[in-house]
């Protein structure tokens, strides 16, 4: 039997013909990287290839690495295998990877969403034979409402808290979600303050796109000046001492998981806004349709359920185990996600 163009190995997704890995989770010689989240761009590879807007992001996280950049649609060949990056719409600098060899085309999505968030380059469907997709939210219970509506709810919530003399604390992952929120907050309501982890990322992202003005919270920041304003912070600070000095404050989280009441209640967050950088159920299905692919491989999320449904509607679909986490890292704190085996 012919070797598949891409294989799932214990180091990551491997292209034997080119001897490269896509988003590998163990150190390798040559890695092609979809985006800057830590489960996709890991430390320790000898050579990184990624979209050029992703370079400052992964350098910020991984330090002085050997990395080269490519533009969207630019084809680069390795051992006669053609690779190219295409917008994934997930976060700034995120890509899908198209792989072509001997007339066969595979696309690996990394993480993606089809809604235009007007901060990252919007998702573009790419025709292929085999589509390797995430399905973080691959259940019919996930249906996103348009960003504009969610953001107007968030702004309304902020204004309401302000009228009650409270500080709004909005949790979002430092890379991606935080900047998306900041971009769409209404600056006429008040000032946007940030946690250090978010502000560090903002500085990096500002080298790529413009962001509204934000103010870093430091030891010198007085409690009184925060009152009525909004703070963007990573989810991990919830329940810790950092947040204590913001009293009186109201907390909210912006994540796809907030679609479930239980998920919000478990985290003891006052308010949940359903805003995700991944596709919802319909989004996944329409993305798959638009690729024209007949073979679908699900990598992370509700993979078994999603693949079973795809098989029922006529696709040749299967699941492969990977170490990608999807949006989980957006809401779980570091210590919570430790694996015991």
191 upstream amide cis, omega within 30 of 0: no
Residue 309 near other proteins by CB under 8 A: yes
Q: Would you say 51 or 278 has its CB closer to other proteins?
A: 278
Q: How far apart are CA 228 and CA 143, in angstroms?
A: 31
- Print the binding letters for residues 254-293 with other proteins: x by CB under 8 A, - otherwise: -----xxxxx-xx-xxxxx---------------------
The residue among 224 and 312 lying less far from other proteins, judged by its C-beta, is: 312
Assess contact for 178 and 172: CB atoms under 8 A.
yes
Q: Say how far apart CA 276 and CA 45 lie, in whole Å.
A: 29
CA distances from 133 to 6, 228, 279, 320 (A): 13, 42, 10, 10
339 binding other proteins? (CB under 8 A): yes
Q: Is 46 exposed, middle or buried (0-12, 13-18, 19+ CB in 10 A)?
A: exposed
Taking CB under 8 A as the criterion, the residue among 44, 187, 240, 336 binding other proteins is: 336
Q: Which of 16, 17, 65, 139 binds other proteins (CB under 8 A)?
A: 139
Task: Determine, following the binding rule CB under 8 A, whether residue 141 of this chain makes contact with other proteins.
Answer: yes
Q: Do the beta carbons of residue 155 and residue 183 sit within 8 Å?
A: no
DSSP 130-178: EEEEEETT-STT--PPPHHHHHHHHHHHHHHHHHTT-EEEEE--TTTHH
| Residue 88 CB, nearest approach to other proteins (Å) | 25
Instruction: Indicate whether 143 belongs to the interface with other proteins (CB under 8 A).
Output: yes
d(CA 130, CA 80): 19
Please state the closest distance from residue 170 (CB atom) to other proteins, in A: 14
Nearer CB in complex with other proteins: 1/339: 339
| Residue number, 277 or 280, with CB nearest to other proteins | 280
Task: Tell me how many residues contact other proteins (CB under 8 A).
Answer: 30
Confirm or reject binding of residue 335 to other proteins (CB under 8 A). Answer: yes
Tokens of 11: 């180091």
DSSP of 174-231: TTTHHHHHHHHS-TTT-PEEE-HHHHHHHHHHTTTS-----EE--TT--HHHHTTSEE
Q: Which residue in the set 302, 324, 326, 331 belongs to the binding site for other proteins (CB under 8 A)? A: 302
The reply to whether 159 sits near other proteins by the rule CB under 8 A is: no
Minimum distance of other proteins from residue 251's CB (angstroms): 9
Specify the residue, 161 or 202, whose C-beta has the smaller distance to other proteins: 161
Q: Which is nearer to other proteins, 63 or 262 (CB)?
A: 262
User: Nearer Cβ to other proteins, position 182 or 269?
Assistant: 269
- Please tell me whether residue 240 binds other proteins under the rule CB under 8 A: no
Half-sphere exposure of 53 (CA within 13 A, CB side): 20
Contacts (CB under 8 A) with other proteins, residues 32-91: none
Please state the closest distance from residue 190 (CB atom) to other proteins, in A.
21
**Nearest Cα to 269, choosing from 252, 249, 247?**
252
In sequence order, the β-bridge partners of residue 133 are 298
Only segment of 22-30, 78-86, 180-188, 306-314 that touches other proteins (CB under 8 A): 306-314
- Give yes or no for residue 311 binding other proteins (CB under 8 A): no
Question: How many other CB atoms sit within 10 Å of the CB of residue 221?
Answer: 15
| Greatest extent of the chain over all pairs of C-alpha atoms, in Å | 69
Candidate segments 23-31, 65-73, 138-146, 192-200, binder of other proteins by CB under 8 A: 138-146
Q: Which of 76, 106, 113 is nearest to 92 (CA)?
A: 113
Q: Which is nearer to other proteins, 12 or 272 (CB)?
A: 272
Q: Which residues lie near other proteins (CB under 8 A)? A: 139-143, 259-263, 265-266, 268-272, 302, 305, 308-309, 312, 332, 335-341
């Amino acid at each position: 039997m012919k070797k598949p163009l891409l294989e799932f190995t214990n180091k990551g997704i491997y292209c034997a013909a080119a001897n490269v890995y896509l988003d590998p989770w163990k150190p390798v010689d040559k890695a092609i990287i979809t985006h800057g989240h830590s489960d996709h761009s890991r430390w320790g590879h000898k050579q990184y290839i990624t979209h050029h807007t992703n370079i400052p992001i992964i350098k910020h996280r991984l330090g002085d690495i050997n990395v080269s950049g490519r533009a969207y649609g630019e084809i680069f060949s390795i051992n006669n295998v053609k690779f190219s990056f295409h917008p994934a719409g997930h976060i700034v600098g995120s890509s899908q990877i198209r792989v072509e060899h001997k007339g066969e085309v595979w696309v690996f999505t990394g993480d993606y969403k089809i809604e235009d968030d007007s901060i990252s380059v919007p998702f573009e469907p790419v025709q292929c034979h085999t589509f390797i997709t995430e399905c973080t939210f691959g259940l019919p219970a996930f249906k996103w409402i348009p960003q504009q509506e969610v953001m107007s709810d968030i702004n309304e919530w902020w204004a309401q808290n302000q009228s009650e003399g409270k500080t709004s604390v909005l949790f979002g992952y430092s890379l991606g979600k935080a900047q998306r929120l900041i971009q769409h907050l209404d600056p006429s309501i008040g000032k946007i303050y940030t946690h250090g982890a978010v502000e560090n990322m903002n500085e990096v992202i500002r080298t790529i796109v413009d962001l509204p003005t934000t103010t870093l919270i430091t030891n010198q920041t007085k409690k009184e000046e925060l009152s009525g304003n909004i703070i963007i912070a990573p989810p991990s600070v919830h329940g810790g001492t950092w947040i204590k000095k913001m009293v009186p404050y109201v907390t909210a989280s912006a994540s796809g998981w907030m679609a479930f009441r239980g998920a919000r209640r478990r985290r003891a967050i006052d308010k949940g806004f359903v805003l995700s950088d991944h596709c919802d159920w319909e989004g996944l299905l329409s993305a798959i349709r638009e690729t024209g692919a007949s073979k679908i491989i699900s990598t992370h999320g509700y993979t078994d359920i999603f693949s079973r449904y795809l098989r029922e509607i006529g696709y040749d679909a299967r699941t492969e185990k990977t170490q990608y986490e999807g949006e989980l890292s957006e809401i779980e704190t570091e210590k919570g996600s430790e694996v015991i085996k």
